[in-house]
Copies of this chain bind each other. A is one copy, B any other.
Amino acid sequence: MRTTIKDIANYTGFSVTTISLVLNGKAYKIPKSTKDIIFDAVEKLNYRPNQIAVGLVKKRTKTIGLVISDVSNVFFSNLAKGVEDECRRNGWNLILCNTNDMHKRDLEYIQVLADKGVDGILFCMSLDSDKKKALESVKLMEKLKVPFVMIDRFLEEVECCSVIVNHRSGGYAATKHLLELGHRNIACVAGPLALEDSQHRLKGYKEALEEFGVSYDPDLIYEGNYDRKSGVEAVEYILGLQKKVTAIFSFNDMSAYGVYNGLKRCGYLIPKDMSLVGYDDIFFSEILDVPLTSVNQPVYDMGVEAVQQIISEIDSGVNSKKCITFQPKLIVRDSTTEYEEK
């Protein structure tokens, strides 16, 4: 059996109260001699408090849950890394929950995490969540009174702390870059347009077009699913348009890879025949033969920030309702070049 506080009490002759007080740094009136005896016993018997028992009485577990769609997705694994690192630095632990973008699982995990007594949840809602579903998740967390911070994907109508990237500005930067290079027929491989992030990137795209006096053509927008397959399919769609598209802006790197491969397969050279911009700046993008111009998101830092927010919310008991916005940064590499009349 594991050593318990009782064992220390028996061993030292003091009561469990005294032991607890000393171990929790609340022994204001207890002489050093007593403390020493206790600490010695703790060391000797190798005592460590049972955190389950502590959790039951303190109603704190120093554990948070991270609800994401899929850790094997590079974006999320970097996020998880940041989250875990910052947790460790603060003496917290992390329960990892993959929903595979199924709203139903969002709800299940929220409930389970609450049952396990996590002190807070870092929530990145499922791709298949429309506004109604997303609100359902939020309502559940509120009902269960578990503090939460929304990450990456957020909802304007929810009053909570969220850690996001300014996708509008990312979309704007990517598009502006292409426009400055002289491109005018710029296609987009968007993510699901039900998602705010996808919408915002599109908004940024439109803003840039407007600024350059280029009219918006909805035909040039292919609504994909943020995966590689979407990129491959988008190429087919875009080339089939016969619209003299000379540049493609993919709303994430995975779909950009699909576009990359799809274009190659069709005999297109990047960037000569087609410029390509991605979004996420996964480290692979740099390794590609034609290193990909991409919008970098400070994912790791977002994870760190989210943990700091949730911890401060837990400690203070107040919902900051802050919206921490990170700025994405366009990383120009070799997949984009000036438009040449042909």
Contact = CB atoms under 8 A, between A and B. Distances in A.
Nearest to A282: B284
A95 B98 contact: no
A289 B287 contact: no
A257 B97 contact: no
A15 interface: no
Contact of A289 (B51, B63, B288): B288
A303 to B, nearest CB: 10
Contacts of A117: 50-52
A325 to B, nearest CB: 23
Q: Which 8 pairs across A and B sit closest by C-beta, in order of nearness?
A: A289-B289, A77-B77, A72-B81, A96-B96, A52-B117, A51-B115, A52-B55, A72-B77
Give this chain's copy count. Answer: 2
A51 B61 CA distance: 12
Contact of A84 (B74, B96, B228): B96
Contact of A71 (B71, B116, B260): B71
Contacts of A335: none
B95 A116 contact: no
A228 B283 CA distance: 11
Contacts of A66: 96
Given A80-B96, A84-B96, A74 B74 contact: yes
A30 interface: no
Given A78-B72, A81-B72, A94 B93 contact: no
A289 B292 CA distance: 13
A301 interface: no
A49 interface: yes
A243 interface: no
Contacts of A96: 66, 80, 84, 94-96
Contact of A93 (B88, B116, B300): B116
Contacts of A257: 287
A56 interface: yes
A63 B290 CA distance: 44
A105 B85 CA distance: 12
A267 to B, nearest CB: 14
A318 interface: no
Given A72-B77, A264-B289, A116 B56 contact: no
Given A56-B52, A94-B96, A117-B52, A81 B74 contact: no
Contacts of A72: 74, 77-78, 80-81, 300
A194 interface: no
Contacts of A74: 72, 74, 77
B94 A48 contact: no
Contacts of A334: none
Interface string A285-320: 001111000000000100000000000000000000
A81 B286 CA distance: 25
Contact of A50 (B85, B115, B290): B115
A30 to B, nearest CB: 24
